[in-house]
């Protein structure tokens, strides 16, 4: 909790630089080609002239050589005689074991390189500049980890049709039957434009009945969709089921993981937003284990609003598995999923049904 508060304070400090004094520092961006830039920040012109003492070419060569080895926490560059370029020359690369606070959600990242509240508190009054710059990031990590959110609509199908085509009592209302998923995802580069998205997450199915006047009940042998008492004025009826999932989707990313980065930096605080480049698509599979189940029925009786919520398995299958397709272009990602097994256990679905499979589609944030 302390680190979350620290991160939120950092974001406020970053977004309100007027709390600090104006800076007279200079920033120079040197564009070498369409893929490389050197950004130099100095407090004044005199400090910029001092950079002439550094052998930048040798630094870059040694850095490239070091990056080809295993993951590095710190590189202290040395010249051919075993001496540092200058007494204070140290390049820090990667996270290593330092106590940085990093929060990543979707295409946003907040990084705070401060250990204590007092460190950030001091920066409110320090003479620190706010730097804004853009650059294109190459996909150099073998595996990159991030969090995302799936948000969309779900329904269920009988064979090749939806139940509402036959006015079935278990027909689902397309708008309002929400699907929501929280995912921890890894993207591993395989070769060329081929990547593998894999990870775990928690998701919720919410099937809202087309006809609000529907009582969802667990019968002796199967789930039942019954009419409520005549005195009820029905408002809403739905069935929900959460699942713990694992997912594996091979992806073709023709931009090879490149992203455009917008960076906002002040002191020990760094806030970045990423925008993916090019087109990408893939298809793979998933499997999930049910964590629970519940129904909600909202109605009025005698001008009094009532809400009945009940928990149970409702003959929902314990395991789900299916296929997932993803497609994206620049900052937009879409997904679709289809369960290959039925929503309810064998011969436990509603009377008259011919097997019901969940289908979902939406956007990934």
Q: Residue 355 has what pLDDT?
A: 85
Topology of domain 143-254+270-364, CATH: Porin (2.40.160)
Question: Can you list the alpha helix ranges (DSSP code H) found in 142-231?
Answer: none
Q: Count CB-CB contacts under 10 A for residue 60.
A: 13
Q: How far apart are CA 54 and CA 89, in angstroms?
A: 9
At 104, is the secondary structure helix, strand, or coil? Answer: strand
The residue among 351, 342, 288 whose CA lies nearest residue 150 is 288
Kindly give the confidence (pLDDT) of every residue in the chain, 365 residues in length, as a single tens digit, with 9 standing for 90 and above.
445 445 555 555 555 554 444 344 566 666 666 566 676 666 666 666 666 766 677 667 666 666 655 444 445 545 445 454 553 444 444 444 444 666 766 677 777 776 655 666 666 666 677 778 777 776 656 888 888 999 999 999 998 889 888 889 999 998 889 999 999 999 999 988 999 999 999 999 999 999 999 999 999 999 999 999 999 999 999 999 999 999 999 999 988 877 788 888 877 778 888 778 889 999 999 999 999 999 999 999 989 999 999 999 999 999 999 999 999 998 789 999 999 999 999 989 998 888 899 999 999 98
Using DSSP, how many helices (H) and how many strands (E) does the chain show? 4, 21
Q: What is the location of CATH 2.40.160 in the chain? A: 143-254+270-364
What's residue 97's pLDDT? 41
| Inter-residue contact 329 to 350 (CB < 8 Å) | no
Nearest to 134 by CA among 241, 273, 312: 273
CA–CA distance from 328 to each of 140, 195, 282, 334, 359 (Å)?
A: 20, 14, 9, 6, 20
How high is the pLDDT of residue 146?
84
Number of other CB atoms surrounding residue 348 within 10 Å: 18
The span from the CA of 86 to the CA of 66, in Å, is 19
Residues forming a β-bridge with 23? none
Give the separation between CA 189 and CA 89, rounded to whole angstroms: 33
Look up the pTM and report it.
0.64
Cα–Cα distance, 129 to 43 (Å, whole number): 10
């Amino acid at each position: 909790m302390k680190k979350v508060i620290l991160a939120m304070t950092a974001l406020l400090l970053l977004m309100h630089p007027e709390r600090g004094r104006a800076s007279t520092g200079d920033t120079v961006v040197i564009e070498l080609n369409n893929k490389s830039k050197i950004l130099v920040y100095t407090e004044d012109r005199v400090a910029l002239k001092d950079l002439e003492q550094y052998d930048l070419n040798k630094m870059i060569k040694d850095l490239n050589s070091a990056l080809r080895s295993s993951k590095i926490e710190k590189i202290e560059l040395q010249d051919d005689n075993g001496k540092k370029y200058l007494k204070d020359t140290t390049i820090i690369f990667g996270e290593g074991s330092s106590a940085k606070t990093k929060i990543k959600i979707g295409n946003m990242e907040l990084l705070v390189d401060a250990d204590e509240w007092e460190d950030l508190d001091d920066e409110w009054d320090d003479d620190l500049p706010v730097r804004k710059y853009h650059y294109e990031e190459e996909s150099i990590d073998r595996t990159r980890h991030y969090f995302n959110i799936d948000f969309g609509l779900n329904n269920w199908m009988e064979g090749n049709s939806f139940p509402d085509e036959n006015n079935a009592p278990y027909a689902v209302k397309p708008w309002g039957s929400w699907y929501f998923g929280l995912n921890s995802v890894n993207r591993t580069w395989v070769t060329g434009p081929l990547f593998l998205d894999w990870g775990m997450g928690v998701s919720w199915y919410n099937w809202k009945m087309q006809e609000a006047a529907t009582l969802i009940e667990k019968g002796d042998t199967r789930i039942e969709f019954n009419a409520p008492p005549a005195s009820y004025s029905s408002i809403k009826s739905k069935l929900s089921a959460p699942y713990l999932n694992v997912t594996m989707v091979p992806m073709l990313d023709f931009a090879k993981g490149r992203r455009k980065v917008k960076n906002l930096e002040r002191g020990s605080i760094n806030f970045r937003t990423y925008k993916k480049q090019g087109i990408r698509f893939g298809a793979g599979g998933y499997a999930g284990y049910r964590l629970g189940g519940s129904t909600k029925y909202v109605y009025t009786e005698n001008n009094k609003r009532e809400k009945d919520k009940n928990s149970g398995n409702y003959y929902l299958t314990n395991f789900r598995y299916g296929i997932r397709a993803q497609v994206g272009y620049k900052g937009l990602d879409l997904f679709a999923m289809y369960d290959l097994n039925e929503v309810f256990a064998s011969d436990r679905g509603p009377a008259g049904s011919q097997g019901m499979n969940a289908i979902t589609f939406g956007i990934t944030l």
